[in-house]
Structure 1
Amino acid sequence: MINRERLVETFMELVQIDSETKHEGHFQAYLIARFKALGLEVLEDDSMAKTGFGANNLLCRLPATTNADAIFFSCHMDTVTPGVGIKPQIKDDVIYSDGTTILAADDKAGIAIMIETIQQVKEQNTPHGTLEFVISVGEESGLIGIKAFDMSLMQADYGFVLDTGGPVGSITVGSPTHAGLEINIHGAAAHAGIEPEKGISALEIAAKAISQMKLGRIDFETTANIGIIEGGTATNIVMENVRMRAEVRSISSESYEAQIKHMKELFEKTTAEMGGAITIKVDKMYGGFRFNDETHVVQIATKALAAIGLKANHEVSGGGSDASIFNEQGKETTNLSIGYEKIHTVHEYIPIHELEKGAELAYEIVKQVGTTAD
């Protein structure tokens, strides 16, 4: 039932409109016009005032035709770099870039699926409750756009983010809570050649603490990493300050708290023993979620996949998405795979048959919910 040629044409058009993070304005204007032309009400929030990015988030709404639940689909309009001047190419039923840029299937494949779903719903006169389509800015920059989005604008209480790679069929049933840590260690400067004994090396403090620290894969649900270490001014000066940036992610709230405590205590204990000073700032980036087979959105997606001949694959993700913020705000949301591969690289690609399956899945979800009207 999906119009394959139209879907591909839409996708090819979308990826050729530049929208790198913080520069989404031109693409946002296109989306406003496109969704209005499809007959949807288009609402634009005022998140630019909070984010400083190039556009506001969009909420596009198709009114209900039956007394079924309101549901939403969500994608993001921004892309990573290099995402300017994308030239999509089709080879052996697969869409690639020309190798000099990303393809931007993350997440314009999701937006193409949204558009095709709306077109199918209207052409097939498919009964549906209120359908909402949230398109955020700044997802690739720490979910900044959706964090600034006013959820009270929405009518739907649950929905589906179209923003996971891999073959269509995967349903995200778990995603971690994510914290960023900013660690600043202060020692004492001294001439490294004449009187190093009078110095306190912030680097040595950091190294001693890190050598005792559990990092990497902590357990099945938890990871931790120190990704940035900066410090020093010259080789002949004992390093006085070290600045570090780290992160902790875990599906388990207990493991999340325990890992942060473990890292803080080692840094603080070692710093005190060596006569330095330390400040540690923990910033929770987003909360996690964990679903099971009985979770409503998981049941809907599983039934929809079965209806199009696919078996559901329940996956626990190590990363975050806009779904994390929707769930934090009380809107039950899972993230669905839509077929793209090797994202955030110039080797990104999407098989056309996977793009087609993604559209079939989204349309089938609308049908599934639409047939459960009271």
Structure 2
Amino acid sequence: MTSAIADNQANKQAGPLIVHVVRQFLPNKGGLEDVVANLCRQLISRGYHVRVVTCDSLFSDPGRQLPPTETIDGIEVVRIPWSGSSRYPLAPQVFRHVADADLVHVHAVDFFFDALAWGKLMHGRPMVATTHGGFFHTPKYAAIKKVWFNTATRLSALGYNYLICCSQSDARLFSNIARNRVRLIENGADVSKFANCAALEARRRIVTIGRFSVNKRLDRMLDVMKALAARHADWHLDIIGAVSDLDQPTLEKEIAARGLERNVSLHVAIDDGSIRNIIARASLFASASEYEGFGLVAIEAMSAGLLPVLNANDAYKALAETHPALMLSDFSDPETAADTLTAAFERLEADDLSLRQELLSDARAYAWDEVAQRYMDVYAETITPKGKSPQLLRQRGQVA
């Protein structure tokens, strides 16, 4: 801790120190990790000093040794021991690495959210949190989760100056416990990563991207593919992601059980260049996910020129309200979802690329430079000393 504080004092001229606390970070890949990494890169480019405090192993690969400290893309990364569940990792050493922060930014609602709130009398740092969907990722234990949310989470929320919600559905939920301290900042997306790379002509080829998690309902996606393949042999699905609570052998068995070896390809932990090459052969994106905190991957799909067909969960419904080009369906009914994907293909087949331009234009609104500015505005309001202007703080890039 002493070294970190000394380093921060030496970097004060570079702007405030924002300490991000998140249970998983790079080199792990996922929506949460991408959001934190992209926000940190933006902050560094604007003169902030940033540190990420995270767990010292990957939940998907617990035997892999990660260094306790590392610098990634200019981001100071500190990894600490943890125990317990990956959903609620216990990691009390977090307090050692926030004492010198000008502001602590907690990502997701888990142990860190609760512990840093209850320990605020000890560390005394101003704090904001981004909800990232809370902990309602699946309907499992829904009654217990609701009780926890209205008791423990409500009390923990008192420790935060602002709760930043990354979707309309999150904002509605957390307004019940934090009221006027809720701020809506929809997630940014790296819209340059796969920019405009999808096939120009309509193809019966679908991409789905995300962790191999139960709530992503890849089983339902495969049931839909079975229905599509029965209608036309050209239908193909590329499943791209990293192992989570589903492993590769399990998914391979699911594919084989449906006789889809020729219609489905599985791509595990591949790099962005490889993903781009797969998207270049596709026209559609699909997600059968039961729950999403925001739907970041759908925005990235739009930026590539893929037409998304999404399961009608709350986050995707909210996204479709803003972007009417998106198509919703019920993936619990394979034939219904197959009908929607067929209609999406026919829509692209009849299109003169105006739909593609709409998708690309809608995705550009989520560029990280704009989203980062919204976060900086919240930071400025949080750490501005009394009697000083938040605008003056933004211009100076420093705190008193």
Please indicate the TM-score interval, normalised by the length of the shorter structure.
under 0.3
Higher helix share: 2
TM-score by length of 2: 0.23
